Amino acid sequence: MVRKSLLLSLCCLSLSAALAQQSAKLSPLTQIYLHRMEQSRGQLPPQYAYRFPGSGQVYVGAMVKTTAALDPEALTALGAHIGTKAGSIWTLQLPATKVKEIAAVPGIAYLQLDEPVYPSLAAAREQTGVDSVHEGLAGLPQAYHGDNVVVGVIDAGFDYRHPSLFDTTGTIYRVDKVWEQVSAGTPPAGYTYGSELSNPADMWADGHDLIGSHGAHVAGIAAGGGYGSSAGKAFRGMAPAASLVLVGIKPPPSDWTTTGMGSIIDGMNYVYTHAAAQGRPAVVNLSWGCSIGPHDGLSLFSQACDALTGPGKLFVCSAGNNGSTRLHVNKTFTATDTAVHSFPGFDPALGEKKTWVDIWGDSSKTFCVQLSLYSGTTRTDSTGWICLDDQLHNLFMTGGSADTLYASLVTSTSEFNGKPRVFIDLHSKVADDVLISIRGTAGTVHMWSGYVKDTRGYYADFSRKNLTWAVNGNTNSTIGDMASTRSAIAVAAYNSTVTYTNVSGGVQDYSMAVNYKGRAPFSSKGPTADGRIKPDIAAPGLVLGSAVSSYDTSYFSTAPGYGSVVHLWTDPNNNKEYAYAMMMGTSMSSPSAAGIVALMLQAAPALTPQQTLDALAATALQDSYTGTIAPGGNNNWGHGKIHAPGAIAAALTATGITTPSAAAPMFRVYPNPAAETFYISFQASAAGSAQLRLSDVQGRTIYAADHTAVNGSNTWNIPVQRLSKGVYLITLTTATGAQMQRVVVQ
């Protein structure tokens, strides 16, 4: 410890000595730059505005305040390029390795390296390759923006009139449907609760669902149009041409504790049903989760999700934000090692000492549970051992101050997945610590803690306190139960932006706490309880700029949240001010990935969940932060960082969809889109049979015909005037193989 402190002191002295030799005053980020250059022995620090003019030299942008003593030739002699001279303020391009020398040039009063501005989704789009996808670059056959794809966002805190929900020009409103599950009104067909809004006028009159901004922010990341943001692009989402369906939720506690999440399943089905009626593929994003559940892909939610998803019906969810919370305890019992003990924590942010503890064992095995109160190392009260008896046990214990701990235990010898379970609802009004003890003679138990109230989760560590025979919790298997679903694309978070400037000019800098482009420390980790790798992929999640609700007072200028507002825009249509602000979490990385999946669905509308997972895995990026990832992935990063161009190309290959730029032979479809008839033409190298097939995005055959091809030019037609509008697939099969193209009926 002494050596480390001495080393830090020497580093600081070294930097101070260097700065003392310089005549210029340096901006804070310039000082950090020089310090990091010194520490890394010349390796360029990330997160600065570098220029690569092609000469082999790397430059960094800067602004300087000059005095009359400055000789421009002293700058050019060091390789600097002088740009604009605005009075005493000059812009410069400095050789990145000579900043220290240039800072010492007489006549420079203040030196400020350009502070990279990432007040937007621009960094996330760039790092995932979405900017290239939007331009049709990176070897792709065309540009993709999410056209003819439905993005469903199941969340809370929407603003239905926010400019992000319009197209890039602000002229077309892109929300097809809204289902407010917590509102009274006319529910959607087939449901008995909530209120459905089906036209923009009703949505705008209603304004919002629950007060908040989580849903607005998530929707903007996945499919925001960028209207009302800087240059129309700063806050453009991943799939800015997709249609949106917004489902406002507020699940009751019973949904979480039973793992059924019926309201969310209803929301998923609502989105998929709407998309199918439109003849379009859909991806649903859920940026919610909880630690309660078996984490084995067999919860009620997981089983329902696996049944709902399929070709053209995909589901993306956040991995969870508990990667730094020790909310998991696991133990494998043997004949000689028969017990595990740990103290659950209570999240102080809740304001009261409540939590849930969920304990799951192995099929055909059994275990027993005991609760105790401890004051320091002294046990003050305890229950007896409660074994699996398929009963509800309402218990209370008295602490040292005569206050009470209330506990409800539900035991099950075999839950819906065939595993034994004990669920504990704790409400402590005592100062004593609560100990949970589990005993068994065989099998493995997993124990998770967590609590959900309204729209927020509360989590705390398991710990050993002062008992040497108890155990601390761990951060393994902290991924949410819903993210453990087999068909789900579970998304971890990495740091795509670590500093930003708000609308007041204040700088928020996370660079001293996290690594730029490194894994976000809060991102939850696998494995699942049955040993599968989760999450599946990582996407930008710290920090992203997107829409916030104009009804959410926490982002008003008088509120603390205003410090994260990075752009304000007044809509001339209603003279109302709308904000874009920064948030972080796997809640943000999930819609980043969902928007990219929407681009994949535009390219390959019949993608299955497994094809999507395979495409994302095969094309994920690895770098110095992910390290080398084995083919099966790992429980921190999944398969690596999501890469949109590669994933789209892999999706095209996996589904057999070809385009005019693909390898010959190729058939041509025209017009596309069409309202009445598609014409198919191709060159055959020899006479023979050929089959035409038109299918919808779920793979169902709509039209099929056999033809005899002649050697040379062939032209056939498919009538579609009686078909519903939407996306379809045409497959041509000849003796040389089969090819498929995506077409649109309008």
668-745 CATH, one of 3.40.50.720, 2.60.40.1930, 2.60.120.510, 2.130.10.10: 2.60.40.1930
Helices (H) and strands (E) in the chain, counts: 14, 38
- Report the distance separating Cα 126 and Cα 138, nearest Å: 12
Residue type, 2: V
- Please name the residue that has the structure tokens 């005569």: 402
Lay out the sheet containing 737-745: strands in order across: 701-709, 688-696, 726-734, 737-745
Maximum CA extent, the chain = 95
- Please name the residue that has the structure tokens 């603003």: 159
The pLDDT confidence band at residue 738, using thresholds 50, 70 and 90, is: confident
Q: Provide the 3-class DSSP secondary structure of residue 340.
A: strand
- Report the distance separating Cα 448 and Cα 329, nearest Å: 7
Mean pLDDT value across residues 25-29: 71
SS3 track for 104-159: CCCCEEEEEECCCCCCCCHHHHHHHCHHHHHHCCCCCCCCCCCCCCEEEEEECCCE
| pLDDT score at 111 | 86
- Report the distance separating Cα 168 and Cα 228, nearest Å: 9
- Residue 234, token pair as written in the block: 């700063």
| pLDDT score at 15 | 34
HSE-up of 173 (CA within 13 Å, CB side)?
16
The pLDDT confidence band at residue 3, using thresholds 50, 70 and 90, is: very low
Rg of the chain's alpha carbons, rounded to an integer?
Answer: 29
Percent of the chain with pLDDT over 70: 92
**Comparing C-alpha atoms, which of 242, 233, 47 is closest to residue 122?**
233
Please, which residues bridge with residue 719 across strands? Answer: 677
Task: Let me know if 717 is exposed, middle or buried by CB neighbors in 10 A (0-12, 13-18, 19+).
Answer: middle
Q: Do domains 2-113 and 668-745 have the same CATH topology?
A: no
**Comparing C-alpha atoms, which of 21, 37, 25 is closest to residue 101?**
21
Task: Let me know if 143 is exposed, middle or buried by CB neighbors in 10 A (0-12, 13-18, 19+).
Answer: middle
| pLDDT score at 60 | 83
End-to-end CA distance of the chain: 71
- Please name the residue that has the structure tokens 């730059």: 33
Of 84-93, 183-192, 609-618, 720-729, least confident by mean pLDDT is 84-93
**Comparing C-alpha atoms, which of 156, 487, 495, 497 is closest to residue 317?**
487
- Report the distance separating Cα 631 and Cα 109, nearest Å: 54
| pLDDT score at 28 | 59
Mean pLDDT value across residues 613-630: 97
| pLDDT score at 53 | 60
Mean pLDDT value across residues 604-633: 97
Of 5-19, 60-74, 162-176, least confident by mean pLDDT is 5-19
The answer to whether 156 and 267 have CB atoms below 8 angstroms apart is no
Count other C-beta atoms under 10 Å from residue 356's C-beta: 22
| pLDDT score at 471 | 98
Mean pLDDT value across residues 185-208: 96
Mark 584-604 as b/e (b = at least 16 C-beta within 10 Å). bbbbbbbbbbbbbbbbbbbbb
| pLDDT score at 48 | 62
| pLDDT score at 43 | 74
Count other C-beta atoms under 10 Å from residue 332's C-beta: 12
HSE-up of 341 (CA within 13 Å, CB side)?
15
HSE-up of 655 (CA within 13 Å, CB side)?
33
Of residues 239 and 34, the one with the higher pLDDT is: 239
Q: What is the pLDDT of residues 53-85, one digit of tens each?
A: 656 788 887 878 889 999 999 999 999 988 767
Mean pLDDT value across residues 403-418: 93
Mean pLDDT value across residues 269-280: 96
Q: What is the pLDDT of residues 212-246, one digit of tens each?
A: 999 999 999 999 999 988 767 889 999 999 999 99
Work out whether the CA dihedral 255, 258, 261, 265 comes out positive or negative: negative
Lay out the sheet containing 243-248: strands in order across: 195-197, 175-180, 243-248, 150-155, 282-286, 313-318, 489-495, 537-542
Residue type, 446: H
Mean pLDDT value across residues 316-329: 98
**Comparing C-alpha atoms, which of 551, 583, 578 is closest to residue 163?**
578
| Fold that domain 328-474 belongs to in CATH | Jelly Rolls (2.60.120)
| pLDDT score at 221 | 98
The answer to whether 267 and 194 have CB atoms below 8 angstroms apart is no
Mean pLDDT value across residues 661-667: 59
Please state the domain extents for the chain: 2-113, 122-322+484-653, 328-474, 668-745
The answer to whether 280 and 513 have CB atoms below 8 angstroms apart is no
Q: What is the DSSP string of 709-723?
A: E-SEEEEEEEE-TTS
The answer to whether 290 and 256 have CB atoms below 8 angstroms apart is yes
**CA distance to 189, 191, 222, 318, 487, per residue, from 269 (Å):** 12, 11, 19, 19, 15
Q: What is the pLDDT of residues 449-481, one digit of tens each?
A: 999 888 889 999 999 999 999 999 999 999 999
- Report the distance separating Cα 80 and Cα 579, nearest Å: 39
Q: At 14, phi and psi to the nearest 5?
A: -65, -45
Q: What is the pLDDT of residues 553-595, one digit of tens each?
A: 999 999 999 999 999 999 888 889 999 999 999 999 999 999 9
- Report the distance separating Cα 281 and Cα 315, nearest Å: 12
In the CATH scheme, what is the code of domain 122-322+484-653? 3.40.50.200
The answer, yes or no, to whether the previous bond of 572 is cis (omega within 30 of 0) is: no
Of residues 114 and 404, the one with the higher pLDDT is: 404
Percent of residues in the chain assigned helix, strand, coil, to nearest 5: 20, 35, 45
pLDDT at 45 over 90: no
- The architecture in CATH of the region 2-113 reads 2-Layer Sandwich (3.30)
**Average pLDDT taken over every residue of the chain:** 90
Q: What is the pLDDT of residues 356-389, one digit of tens each?
A: 999 999 999 999 999 999 999 999 999 999 999 9
Of 245-249, 588-592, 664-668, least confident by mean pLDDT is 664-668
Residue type, 69: A
The answer to whether 200 and 165 have CB atoms below 8 angstroms apart is no
| pLDDT score at 113 | 79
Give strand ranges (E) for 413-472. 421-428, 433-439, 444-453, 456-458
- Report the distance separating Cα 104 and Cα 91, nearest Å: 17
Q: Provide the 3-class DSSP secondary structure of residue 738.
A: strand
The answer to whether 740 and 730 have CB atoms below 8 angstroms apart is yes
pLDDT at 38 over 80: yes
pLDDT at 144 over 70: yes
- Report the distance separating Cα 229 and Cα 212, nearest Å: 20
Mean pLDDT value across residues 24-35: 77
Please, which residues bridge with residue 178 across strands? Answer: 197, 246
The answer to whether 711 and 705 have CB atoms below 8 angstroms apart is no
| pLDDT score at 47 | 54
- Report the distance separating Cα 308 and Cα 189, nearest Å: 18
